[in-house]
């Protein structure tokens, strides 16, 4: 090869060497620039496909957001009576909260000399699996005076306005004055109990 290169004409020798240099440069450009660019382009294509898939999922979620919102609104509407019926302590007292809720009904029915007191809270059986929030029924004793009609009117208004409140017991002590019958009733209200876990 060496003898052959020396025996070549100067112009041919220059052309040959130029070809070799250009070949080396072409190989260097390919391995140092073109091949990394191709690999980078492949990665970017993969990333673009991932972004397109992510966008497709987000579009699907956005399209279903209206349906989800409507379902949530329907559930909230269904749960409103339960939320409204739940007895929450007022200044740490169930009796005070019951009084604040029942005073308008009591006044409307015409009952007088009303007294409120708390009874022991009754825990409800826990379903399985155990829910995070347990529920109970808070009992409130109410003593009042009024006619049989006033007592019945109060219970009818209670049933209409607070349908999830249950009447545990009702006692009426007959008095000589028919408008001053003494009644003692225990009402049970749904309420939240202890948390089973955080």
Q: What is the pLDDT of residue 134?
A: 59
Superfamily name with CATH number, domain 94-195: Ribosomal protein S6/Translation elongation factor EF1B (3.30.70.60)
Tokens of 48: 């673009």
Sign of the CA dihedral running 166, 168, 173, 174? positive
What mean pLDDT do residues 128-136 have? 65
Tokens of 58: 């987000």
Q: Has residue 2 got a pLDDT over 60?
A: no
Name the average pLDDT for the chain.
82
The tens digit of pLDDT for each residue in 50-97 reads 888 888 888 887 777 778 788 778 877 776 666 666 788 888 888 998
Does residue 138 sit in helix, strand or coil? strand
Q: Would you kindly state where each structural domain of the chain is located, as residue ranges?
A: 2-82, 94-195
Q: Tell which wins on pLDDT, 82 or 197.
A: 82
What mean pLDDT do residues 130-144 have? 79
Residue 123: DSSP 8-state:
E
How open is the CA angle 87-89-91, to the nearest 5 degrees?
Answer: 155
pTM of the model: 0.55
Q: Report residue 175's pLDDT band, with 50, 70 and 90 as the boundaries.
A: confident
């Amino acid at each position: 090869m060496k003898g052959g290169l020396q025996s070549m004409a100067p112009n041919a020798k220059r052309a040959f060497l130029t070809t070799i240099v250009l070949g080396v440069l072409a190989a260097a450009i390919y391995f140092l620039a073109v091949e990394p660019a191709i690999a980078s382009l492949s990665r970017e294509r993969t990333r673009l496909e991932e972004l397109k898939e992510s966008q497709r999922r987000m579009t699907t979620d956005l399209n279903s957001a209206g349906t989800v919102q409507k379902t949530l609104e329907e559930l909230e509407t269904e749960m409103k009576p339960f939320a409204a019926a739940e007895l929450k302590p007022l200044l740490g007292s169930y009796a005070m909260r019951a009084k604040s809720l029942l005073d308008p009904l009591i006044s409307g029915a015409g009952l007088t000399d009303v007294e409120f007191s708390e009874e022991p809270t009754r825990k409800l059986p826990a379903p399985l699996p155990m829910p995070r929030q347990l529920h109970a029924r808070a009992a409130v004793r109410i003593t009042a005076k009024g006619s049989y009609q006033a007592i019945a009117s109060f219970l009818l208004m209670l049933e209409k306005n607070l349908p999830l409140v249950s009447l545990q017991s009702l006692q009426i002590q007959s008095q000589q004055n028919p408008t001053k019958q003494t009644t003692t009733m225990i009402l049970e209200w749904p309420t939240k109990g202890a948390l089973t876990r955080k």
